[in-house]
Every structure is written in structure tokens, then in C-alpha cells.
Amino acid sequence: MSELDARGVDVTFGATRALDSVDLRVDPGRILALVGPSGSGKSTFLRAVAGFVTPDAGTIRVGGRTLVGDGHTVPPERRGLGMVFQHHAVWPHMSVAENVGYPLRRARWNRADREKRVSEVLATVELADFADRAPDTLSGGQRQRVSLARALVARPDVLLLDEALSALDEPLRANLRLMLRRLAAENELTMVHVTHDRDEALAIGDQVAVLDRGRLVQAGSPAELDSSPNSEFVARFLHDAACVPGRMGDDGFRSDDGGLLVPTQALDFPSGPVHGPAHLALTPHGVELAAQPTGDAVLPVEVVTSLYGRAGRTVICRSGDLEIRVLTQERDYVQATARGVRVRRGFVYSR
Ligand code: ADP
């Protein structure tokens, strides 16, 4: 049971700042989900922890032991970490048990201990009956569980998962999310799970950290990120927020075109108080459809289309250049009726 502590980690590739002074801490036995758009530096962070990339600056410690920083670097094979990638790397010429036992053979465990540990870990990933099978007779989800078992077999201090579920289809993917949560809790295993999928990040992480162009922009519990995105970027990335340009004044937020006034009591300021030029971020949960294009806190819109979802129907509306998503509880929404969007709750950020 070990904590992971990264401080001031910088990584540059030529002119690209892949990580810019990143601080991240994961408590022992907890899962950190690292999320962000493609190219934001997620894999680079994992590779820096694993030892495949050496940071230009910063320190990374696991359980108080320095892996990199303070003038020294521990080689990857001595870091005591497990890693699982998007595309499972199981060897086709070895059985499931041989694949899983391979790291122990390299570490020169004796045969009896090896067999005992391999069957233990295969049971953990629910593959006890598959020990003698050849990997090419398994499904994608089963093969990914072989990779997971192999990453776990030597009892790593920290498990690093790089888009490890991204190649799997539902419902397998959902089952593996549950398995990871169970493994973390039962084995008090610290995990970093990298994903570009925001719903997966919120579902799986005890803590969620959002990266944007190499910088850590917000970290917190899933509920904190969900209810209080601290920047326009996070509001857009996590919530598909539409951002209306305008100004914050004494009576509330007024859009630049003058058509929308939202009173202060309907507004939240997750990044602190705002005066003057501002953006109002509208999330699908914070707005509702209005029959008329005018009224208090109403923006005139045209309905474009809608998408069915289990949490309700998402109606896509257009107001000038802005695309606004509205979550409704109506299942069979008839799109012709709405002509406005009313703001019930909005986030305001300085611009
Ligand atoms: P993510 O995992 O979030 O998609 P990456 O960590 O892979 O992002 O990449 C972060 C940035 O660093 C990107 O701009 C990427 O092009 C760049 N990068 C990553 N690895 C290398 C490399 N080996 N050489 C040059 N540039 C790289």
C-alpha cells in the first residue's frame, strides 16, 4: 500500500512541452483517473512514472521512495510498478498461466511459489478456469484480464493503466471498471488510470485530474469536478458546455448582444468572483427548454435535433454560432415546440 507523489514534473520533446510542472498525489489504495483530450500529456505522465521517459525537472516518489529526482533515476524494472496498455501484449505461444507467470520466472521465483501466486492472481481476475488455454482462444476482454493478471502478479506498489479499457466494447468494459474498483479496494492497490473518456474517468476515479496541453487544470473528487468545473475548459470538456460571451455587472450576466440577462442568484463562480468581461457556461443540466424565445433568462434558439439517453433526451439547439445542449426528462420529445432555452443555473468565468 503506497502513495504516489509527483511534484513539479516537466517533460519536453523538442519544442513540445508535454508536461508543465505537474503536481499529482494519489493516496494509498486509491484510484486516480487522469483525463484530458488527445495530446494533453496523459501517457507522458504514466511513462514518466514508469521510467520510460525521464523528466527534465521534478520528483516522483512511491511510498516515500524516490523513483526519479534529487539527482537519481531508478530503472523501470526496479520501480515495482505494474502496467497495462490499451492493446494487450500477451504472448501467443504461451498458455495463460505461462504468460501471467513470466515476470516471476524472470525474477527467479521457484516453481511452487510461482504456481501458487499465478493461480491466486488468475482467481482474482476471474480466469481460474483458463490457466491452460492459449491466448488466441480467448475473447478481447479475457485477454485484457490476462494482461491485468500479469501486471499484478509481482504485487506492484502502483498499477498504471494506459487506456487499458478503451479497446473493449460494452458491457465488458463496464465489468472491467468494476473489477478495477474491486481490485483497488481488496488489495489496497494504488492505481493511475489514463483515459480520454470523461464518463469513464468520473466512474472509476476516487480522484479525477484533468490535463490540458501538459498542464494540470483541475483535480478533485468526481462530484467536485461535476458540480464545480473551475475553468471554461473543464466546463466544456466535462459537460459539453456552451459559452456565451458577455459581462458580469451588478444585476447579473448580460450577453454581448444584449439578448440574455441572467440574475446573479442563478449563477455560480467556481473560479472566484467575476466582474466585467466574462463567459457564461451553459451545461445540459443547467438549462431547460422554453416555449417562447423571450422572457427572463431566456435565449432564443432553434432546435436542431435530439439524442435519446437513459438519463433523458439531449436536445441540440442553435443560437447564432452557439450550439446549446439541453437535457430533458421527456423520452419522446417532439422537437418543433421549443423556441427558447431558459438558464436555471450557469457557471461564470472571467475572460
Ligand atoms: P495523451 O496521452 O494525452 O494523448 P501524450 O502524453 O501522448 O498525450 O502527448 C503529449 C504531447 O507530447 C503531444 O503533443 C505529443 O505529440 C508529444 N509527444 C509525446 N511523445 C512524444 C515523443 N516521443 N516525441 C515527441 N513528441 C512526443
The pLDDT confidence band at residue 87, using thresholds 50, 70 and 90, is confident
Q: Which of 24, 19, 42, 4 is nearest to 164 (CA)?
A: 42
What is the architecture, at CATH level 2, of domain 4-227?
3-Layer(aba) Sandwich (3.40)
- Identify the residue whose C-alpha is closest to ligand 1 atom 13: 39
Strand (E) or helix (H) holding 338: none
- Identify the residue whose C-alpha is closest to ligand 1 atom 12: 18
Instruction: Bin 145: left if φ > 0, else alpha if -120 < ψ < 50, else beta.
Output: alpha
Q: Is 40 close to ligand 1, i.e. is its CB under 6 Å away?
A: yes
Considering the entire predicted model, what is its pTM?
0.92
CB atoms within 10 A of CB 74: 15
Judge whether residue 281 has pLDDT over 80. Answer: yes
Interval between CA 36 and ligand 1 midpoint (Å): 12
pLDDT in tens, 243-266: 999 999 999 999 999 889 999 999
> What pairing do the DSSP bridges indicate for beta strands 267-268 and 340-343?
unpaired
The pLDDT confidence band at residue 333, using thresholds 50, 70 and 90, is low
Q: Which of 8, 22, 50 is nearest to 211 (CA)?
A: 22
pLDDT in tens, 38-57: 999 999 999 999 999 999 99
Residue ranges covered by each domain of the chain: 4-227, 242-350
The pLDDT confidence band at residue 169, using thresholds 50, 70 and 90, is confident
Q: Is 91 close to ligand 1, i.e. is its CB under 6 Å away?
A: no
